[in-house]
Amino acid sequence: MDRSITSPTLLADLGGTNVRFALADAAAASPLLLDSVKRYRVKDFDTLADAMRQYFADTGYTATQSIIAAAGRIANGETVKITNNPWAVSAHGLEAELGFERVRLVNDFAAQGMSIPLLKNDELQAVGKVLPPEHSHNAATQTFVVMGPGTGLGVAGLLLRHGHWIVLETEGGHSGFAAHTAEDVEILHRLNARFGRVSNERMICGNGLVNLYLALADIAGQAAEEYTPEDITARATDGSDPLCVRTVETLAGIFGSVAGDLVLSLGGWDGVYLTGGVLKILMPWLQRGGFRERFEAKGRFRDTMEHVPTIAITHPEPGLLGAAALAVLETGRSLPQS
């Protein structure tokens, strides 16, 4: 890292399993300093402050301000209880404990969404045949969905309004699962018996693979193995277990249905950006057709949905990149529109 930066911002991308740190230089053309990125396991620390201290100790870096992208609902811009994670985070508490001048909390998928204006073409991959959208300088409005599976299912909206980027923070991953096929109904019955209310996140995330596998095994009258998500994807990839293949195919289809529903709900006609820690593993299955077929299968809106692009983000750290974009905006600078 260039040690001449006068006021770097500490960035954190905090999920249920890992926390990633990096520094941003808001004055740079590429504000995220990729050589400053380090990842830590949440379970190894009692608090976020402890993990931050470890990052500073390991790298020798310092910062006077921080932007934290956290997997949870931000209350009054001040506190967040991380979903699928034991930590509770307070912006003012971190300022007092670590001496920051300012700490800003944002939803992790709000940060993922804000990465999009900074992404290059080679950091995007179309899912299906529809080409990725352009962020038009001439368009008065554009609306996108940002979503993806990791420890949970993140959802955000990204709006371009008269040259200004606006992110809509949501907890859409916790919306109730809507069954679209006879098999969906059978899956829903089994997950309802296990969990009560069944959200989209019960299936579209890492542990969702296990939930789907167990449900499909029961539907087939087949004894289930004690597989981890990694076991299921590995056996699906090498074709050694047909039920694992069916599990990943089913997740891809349900993912497509939910993505399409979000387009209808948010008016995201300009495209869906896919991201999240599990996306890379799922990509070969998303490209095989089931994702787009169920994405487009929206009755009277099929013709419209066929023209809505779905784009995978391949940048290694979109959450940190989006937090860096927010650091730029806090200085009064603008982000690009294309």
Torsion over CA: 272, 278, 280, 283 (sign): negative
Which uninterrupted H or E stretch holds 60? none
The reported pLDDT for the residue numbered 142 is 93
Q: Are 274 and 313 in contact (CB under 8 A)?
A: yes
Which uninterrupted H or E stretch holds 290? helix 290-296
The token pair that represents 164 in the structure block:
């200004």
Could you give the CA distance from residue 70 to residue 72 in angstroms, rounded to a whole number?
6
C-alpha distances (whole Å) from 232 to each of 205, 245, 250 are 13, 8, 12
Q: What is the pTM of this model?
A: 0.89
Could you give the CA distance from residue 2 to residue 33 in angstroms, rounded to a whole number?
9
The token pair that represents 204 in the structure block:
């579209």
The reported pLDDT for the residue numbered 81 is 72
Could you give the CA distance from residue 122 to residue 198 in angstroms, rounded to a whole number?
37
Instruction: State pLDDT tens for residues 171-200.
Output: 899 999 999 999 999 999 999 999 999 999
CB-based contacts of 174, cutoff 8 Å, min separation 6: 199, 200, 201
Torsion over CA: 239, 240, 241, 247 (sign): negative
Residues of the chain short of pLDDT 70, as ranges, are: 1-6, 82-84, 136-139, 336-338
The reported pLDDT for the residue numbered 240 is 95
In terms of phi and psi (left: phi > 0; alpha: psi -120 to 50; beta: otherwise), the region of 163 is left
Could you give the CA distance from residue 284 to residue 249 in angstroms, rounded to a whole number?
10
